[in-house]
Amino acid sequence: MYNSLLRDREVQYVALRDETSKTWRILDTWHEALKDVSMEDDIPDDNEAISILTESAFTALIKEAARLGVLENVDFGSDNSYELEEKDAEIAKLKDEISKIKEETNKKEEPYKGMSEDAIIKLKAMEYNLKITSTITDFDNLTKE
């Protein structure tokens, strides 16, 4: 029978949201009222194993549970372990990117190691002047052609 299959489940309650009526249906899969129900049967809303909450009642329940700190103790099971693995992989990838950016930044600053701030500023100014002069020369050559 249906009830024996449901009783073997690890999770006792199943919640489904009905988008049309904006209600939550909560099924107690271990309830005695399901002992004569077969797998093909629909379980009617008036079955004792079903509780129905409106969207606002559900929201109020969650808010109160959060206020009491009950949600902190909720075990979401191992069903979301793949999400944690994905997030761990993403974190590792981001850490690698941060390391690469730091390395690139350090390489850019290496030529200036040991120099005073004034010397670095003068050297950078000279580099920019060279770039500007080079660009002006390129433009000049283009206009002559």
> Quick one: which of 57, 54, 50 has its CA closest to 26?
50
Domain segments of the chain as ranges: 2-74, 114-145
Q: Could you list the pLDDT tens digit for every one of the 145 residues in the chain?
A: 454 555 566 778 888 898 899 999 998 888 888 887 777 778 888 888 899 999 999 999 999 998 998 887 776 665 556 677 778 888 999 999 999 998 888 777 677 777 888 888 898 899 889 989 888 887 777 777 6
Strand order in the sheet with 50-54: 13-18, 23-28, 50-54
Beta bridge partners of 111: none
